[in-house]
Amino acid sequence: MPANLPPQYFEKEKELKKAKNPQERISVLEDLLAIVPKHKGTEKLQAQLKTKIAKLKTESQKSPAVARHTAAFQVEKTGAGQVVVIGSPNSGKSSLIKALTNANPDIGDYPFTTRLPSPAMMPYENIQIQLVDMPPITQDYFEFWQAELIKAADAILLVLDISLPEPAEDFLTLLAKLEEKRIDLVPKEREVPQEKQQFMKKTLILANKTDSPRAEENLTSIKEFLDPGFEPVPVSIFEEHTLTDLKTRIYVLLDVIRVYSKIPGKKVDHEDPYVFKRGSSLMDMAKAVHKDFAQRLKYARIWGKNKYQGQKVTRSYILEDEDIIELHI
Ligand SMILES: Nc1nc2c(ncn2[C@@H]2O[C@H](COP(=O)(O)OP(=O)(O)OP(=O)(O)O)[C@@H](O)[C@H]2O)c(=O)[nH]1
Ligand SMILES: [Mg+2]
C-alpha cells in the first residue's frame, strides 16, 4: 500500500539536514511523525521514525562524562562538506576561521591557543560548508584523534605562515608527522580511488599572512618544497579579496554539485539545494528526497544548462551542477 505522504512531510524533512544537535533532530522527527497520515501504508515509516526518536533520546541521556569524552574527539559532519584546517602553531588557522565564518575562536600569538577541534559553518552562496579548527601539529604533538579527524574529512586546508623566516621548516615537519600516520596530501586535480580516500586527502595549501613584509620572497621559496600540482594560495585576514577567492576555492576543492528539487506545477526553491558528490546519479537524488521515490521513480524532467528545458531523463542520468529536477513516480 503506498504511503501517499503529503508535501508538508517532505518540506519538514529538509529541516533534518539543518538540525544542529540531537535535541533539534528529535523535535523535527516528532513533527514528521505527527504529519504522517496514520494508515496501513505508513506503518513501517511510523515505526522507523519512532525508533530514531527513541535512539536519539537514549543517546542524549547518556552520562555526561561519556558524552564529553566522545564529543571532544569527533566532529559530526554537517552542511555540504567537512574541511579540516591544519597547520603549525600560530600559522593563523583560527584567525582564518573567524574571518570566514560567524564563529569567534580564541586567537593568540602564543602556540596552542586552540586545544580542541571546533566546527564552524562557512556560508558560500546558497550552501554552508563546515570548517573544523584544530590544535596545531608539531614534532611533539600529533594525537591519534587528530589523524582520525583528518582521515574522515572531505578535504583539508593546510595553513602555512609565510611571515616566518623559514616557512618550509614547519611544512616539512608537518608532512613527516602526517606520513607517520600514512596520510598523504594531494592536489585537487589528482585522481584518488575510492578505497584510498581515507589516506590521500585533497588539500589546499594556504600561504597565510601574505600582508607581511617578507611574504613575496617566502612564497617563492616555499614553492620549491611543494609536490608538483600544488599551487599555494596567498591569503591574509587583512585582505578581503583573498578571503573571497578562498571561499570559492574551498567550494571547488569539495568537488560537489548543487541540485534543486521542483514539485510539479510549483516554482523551484533556489534557497535550499541538495548537495551531492560530482558523478552522482538521478537515483542518488531520488534516495535523498525519499526512499519511496527511489523505489518508484519512473523518470524525471530536467531544467538546466545545455539541455532542452523540461527534458526527460532516466534513473542513470548523471546530475550536473545547478540542475533543476522534477521527480515523477
Ligand atoms: N599579519 C598577519 N597576522 C595574522 C594573520 N592571521 C593571523 N595572524 C596572527 O597570527 C597569530 C596566530 O593566530 P591564530 O589564529 O591564533 O593561529 P592558530 O594557527 O590558530 O594557532 P594555534 O591555535 O596555536 O595553533 C595571531 O597573533 C594573529 O593575529 C594574517 O593574515 N596576517
Ligand atoms: Mg588556533
Backbone angles phi, psi at 107, to 5 degrees: -130, 140
pTM of the model: 0.79
Predicted confidence (pLDDT) per residue in 15-28, tens digit: 888 887 787 888 88
The residue-averaged pLDDT of 246-264 equals 94
Is the pLDDT at 66 greater than 70? The verdict is no
Average pLDDT, the chain: 90
Position in ligand 1 atom list of the atom nearest CA 88 = 25
Say yes or no: CB of residue 117 within 6 Å of ligand 1.
Answer: no
Say yes or no: CB of residue 91 within 6 Å of ligand 1.
Answer: yes
Q: Whose Cα sits closest to atom 2 in ligand 1?
A: 209
Instruction: Give residue 71's pLDDT band: very low, low, confident or very high (50, 70, 90).
Output: low
The residue-averaged pLDDT of 241-247 equals 98
Please name which ligand lies nearest the alpha carbon of 161. Answer: 1
| Residue to substitute in 86, 88, 90 for testing ligand 1 pocket (most ligand atoms within 8 angstroms of CB) | 90
- Cα separation, 278 vs 280, in Å, equals 6
β 256-261/323-328 pair status: parallel
Say yes or no: CB of residue 202 within 6 Å of ligand 1.
Answer: no
Instruction: Specify the pLDDT at position 179.
Output: 95
Percentage of the chain exceeding pLDDT 90: 65
Is the pLDDT at 262 greater than 60? The verdict is yes
Please name which ligand lies nearest the alpha carbon of 208. Answer: 1
Instruction: Specify the pLDDT at position 1.
Output: 61
Is the pLDDT at 67 greater than 70? The verdict is no
Predicted confidence (pLDDT) per residue in 98-107, tens digit: 999 999 999 9
Predicted confidence (pLDDT) per residue in 170-226, tens digit: 999 999 999 999 999 999 999 898 889 999 999 999 999 999 998 999 999 999 999
Question: Which of 61-75, 111-125, 151-165, 192-206 is predicted with the least confidence, judged by mean pLDDT?
Answer: 61-75
Q: Measured in angstroms, how far is the CA atom of residue 313 from the centroid of ligand 2?
A: 48
Is the pLDDT at 60 greater than 80? The verdict is no
Q: Measured in angstroms, how far is the CA atom of residue 134 from the centroid of ligand 1?
A: 13
Residue 132: left if φ>0, alpha if ψ -120 to 50, beta else—which one? beta
Q: Measured in angstroms, how far is the CA atom of residue 135 from the centroid of ligand 1?
A: 12
What SS3 class is residue 182? coil
Instruction: Specify the pLDDT at position 272.
Output: 86
What SS3 class is residue 169? helix
